[in-house]
Structures are given as structure tokens and as C-alpha cells.
Amino acid sequence: MNHTPFREALINLDALSANVQSLAQTIGTPNLMVVVKANAYGHGMIESARAALAGGATWLGVADIDEALQLRAGGIAVPVLAWIHAPDETFDDAIAAGITLGLSTVAQLNAVAGAVDRAAAGSGAGAGAGTGAVPARVHLKLETGLSRNGASEPEWPPFFAAAAALHASGAILVEGIFSHLSNTSVEDDLAQATVFERGLRAAAAAGLAPTLIHLAASATAVTVPALRYNMVRLGILAYGVSPFEDRSAADLGLTPVMTLRASVVATRRVPFGAGVSYDYTYRTAEETTLVLIPLGYGEGIPRAASGRAPVVIDGQRFVIAGRVAMDQFIVDVGQASVAVGDHVVLFGDPAVGHPSVTEWAEAASTIGYEIVTRLSGRLERTFVGAPS
């Protein structure tokens, strides 16, 4: 009998570093941000951040300030960009920790200026005197067609004017300008890039000269070299999951970082016609063996994958039988010899015979991003590889 932890996401940090190194060589920009938001897409933020840096990342990206502060608490001192903020965010803690702020509104610019003034007053220096974390480093976020956060084109004149005034005063350093693409098609991305270029010209006309320009994330960074500017943001590709429908991670020379696995915790021999799990959406077609796997939607296993998603048990492939429950699901292994404690792999590296994240995404009618990011609950993460 083989022994595997009860339920585990095995994270290969060497694979993550190698993926980042390979993508850095392919993309070739002087600055490379690896995004580690949402617990590094479910892979473990601190450990993944260190692995990304070992692979050549020069920046880290997160959604919010709390995530950025977790990186600092973990001893990570490299530049970190956070771009989604609470309506009443004061920015004091972020500025004290040297977090770079993605800002989208004049109100946010003013709030950052207020935090800089408070920090300067506390240090006995004037605003912009460079004491401690003053001035605040900011990247201006532009809305170019995704209809999410960012300053839209009619808002640019007051937004750029406020940023330029605060930059001139020494309260902030406008270090970058960025936006985000829809990835609907190359044509749609190029149309957004046209708007982005107008934004860059408007910023320059307002007297701003940011040194970092970034627009492309994983998909566009690979497919549209013209949109790389001097920095790209790598997200899902760093973790060896493809954002493309027609190209796998292996096609891109990348290795999946996560293997999701567990141990069989029970077996049961049942007759023909036995009902399986809630609602009896599956009934056995013969006398067969059912095995119980201790993973469910409490760990982030999608209920939508019920009856569809593949698993491998000791090298043999099967499909989930019936409904995924909160804590468990069942696999009908037929006449195969499966015992309590045997390995079960839900997904991992197809190169070694595992189902892929993409297969699970297709089974659940979603995308690979969601499959790995949603994993939580009682799931244990085990890290292997050099970075620590």
C-alpha cells in the first residue's frame, strides 16, 4: 500500500521557478512582475513569491494591501504593487511598508497624499522629504475597455493633473502607468492598446514621465510582443496552467506546479443498481467497488464536476461517480483492486499521467484559474523544491 497525506496540494517550487525563468527568456522585458494574489492562485503566497523571485521575477503583484503586507511580514522586500483598495483606505500602513500603489481616482491620490503628510509629520520632516516611506510610489491605472477599475478617458485630465501636482510636490513618485486587457481577441486587445497609447500621451502632456509601462498579462505577454512595453505581469502561466483553449502548458514549455492528491479512506463492494451519493444521479451498472475520497466542495472541489471530472488511482483513470459532497466524493473503480490508503491524483502534470487542471476546468464548465485558486478549507499544502 502506498502512503499519501490525507488530502494535499503538493506544490513544486522548482517548477514554478523554472516556469518564470522560461517565460522571462521568451518575453524578454527588463521588468517582470509575477502576480501572487489570492494566495498565489491557491499555491501558497509566500513560498510561491520566493520561487518566482528565484526564477527571475523583479516585481510581485497582489490585489490588495493586506496581501502586500503579508509579503512584507514574510520577509519579502522586493517591489510589490497592490491595485484594489477599500473605499475608506487610508494607505498609511502600505506607505510605511514601502508598498507601491495602483491608483485609479483623484480621491485615491488625495488619500495617499494625506497619508504621506501624516508620515512626514510623524518623522518631523515635510511632505516629500524622502524620510522613511515618503514619497509614496504609485502606478496610475487606466480604464481602456475592460470596464473595471481605472481612470476612464473623460477622467484623465483631472486625474493626470492631480498626479502631476503631487509628483512635483514630492508627495508621490509616479513610477508607472498600466491597464489590463480583456483577452477577447488580438483585435480587441489592440483596440484597448490604442486607448492606452492615448493615455500615455495625455500623461506626458500633463508632465508625467513614468519609467514603468505595463499592459500585458499572461496571455497577451506570450501572444502579442508589441504590447509588452517594458514590463509584463505574469499570473496563471507562472503556475503552469494555460490560459489558452488551444495550447497546453506543455505546448508552452511549462510544468504544472500543483498536484492535488489524497488517499482512499474507504472501499465498499456494492451490487448492480446501487445509488451513489446525493440525489442518486449515478447508479452502478454492475456489482462493483466504490471508493471514498476525502475531498469535497469544503476544500474547493467544484460540485459542478460531479460525474464528470477524472482522477487517477495507482495509475488507473476513473471518473467521479455521482455528486461531489462537502467533504467527500465517490469513484466507481469497477473490478480494479483498490485499497484504503492508495494514491488518488485529481490533477497534476499530464507528462507523468495525471489529469490536467484544464480537464477539471472543462468538467466543471469553468477555467483553470478557478480550479486552482478556489482550493482552501482543510487542504494541506506541501512544498517541495529549493526556494523557501
pLDDT above 60 for 145 = yes
**Angle (CA) 34 38 44, round 5°:** 75
Q: In the predicted model, what is the mean pLDDT of residues 231-259?
A: 96
- Residue-wise pLDDT for 325-377, tens only, equals 999 999 999 999 999 999 999 999 999 999 999 999 999 999 999 999 999 87
When pLDDT is cut at 50, 70 and 90, the band that residue 214 belongs to is very high
Q: What is the CA radius of gyration of the chain?
A: 24
- Residue-wise pLDDT for 57-70, tens only, equals 999 999 999 999 99
When pLDDT is cut at 50, 70 and 90, the band that residue 133 belongs to is very low
141 is catalytic: no
* DSSP secondary structure letters along 207-248: T---SEEE---HHHHHH-GGG-TTEEEE-GGGGT----SS--
Report strand pairing: 212-214 vs 316-321. unpaired
Q: What is the pLDDT of residue 253?
A: 95
Q: In the predicted model, what is the mean pLDDT of residues 37-66?
A: 98
Preceding amide of 154 cis, omega within 30:
no
**pLDDT mean across residues, the chain:** 94
* Structural domains for the chain: 13-241 (3.20.20.10), 258-366 (2.40.37.10)
Q: Determine which one of 239, 278, 297, 369 is catalytic.
A: 278
Which range among 53-62, 117-126, 208-217, 344-353 shows the weakest confidence by mean pLDDT?
117-126
pLDDT above 60 for 119 = yes
Q: How far apart are CA 9 and CA 256, in angstroms?
A: 12
For the chain, report the end-to-end CA distance as a whole number of angstroms.
Answer: 31
Length of the chain: 388
Q: What is the pLDDT of residue 5?
A: 67
- Residue-wise pLDDT for 162-177, tens only, equals 999 999 999 999 999 9
Which range among 4-8, 41-45, 110-114 shows the weakest confidence by mean pLDDT?
4-8
pLDDT above 50 for 127 = no
37 is catalytic: yes
Q: In the predicted model, what is the mean pLDDT of residues 235-247?
A: 95
Sign of CA dihedral 268, 272, 278, 281: positive
pLDDT above 50 for 7 = yes
pLDDT above 90 for 128 = no
C-alpha to C-alpha distances, 103 to 63, 175, 240, 388, nearest whole angstrom: 12, 11, 30, 32
**Cell for 152?**
476612464
Of 113, 89, 110, 91, nearest to 100 by C-alpha is 91
pLDDT above 70 for 131 = no
When pLDDT is cut at 50, 70 and 90, the band that residue 6 belongs to is confident
Which range among 2-16, 57-71, 239-253 shows the weakest confidence by mean pLDDT?
2-16
User: Looking at this protein, which amino acid is placed at residue 349?
Assistant: D
pLDDT above 90 for 386 = no
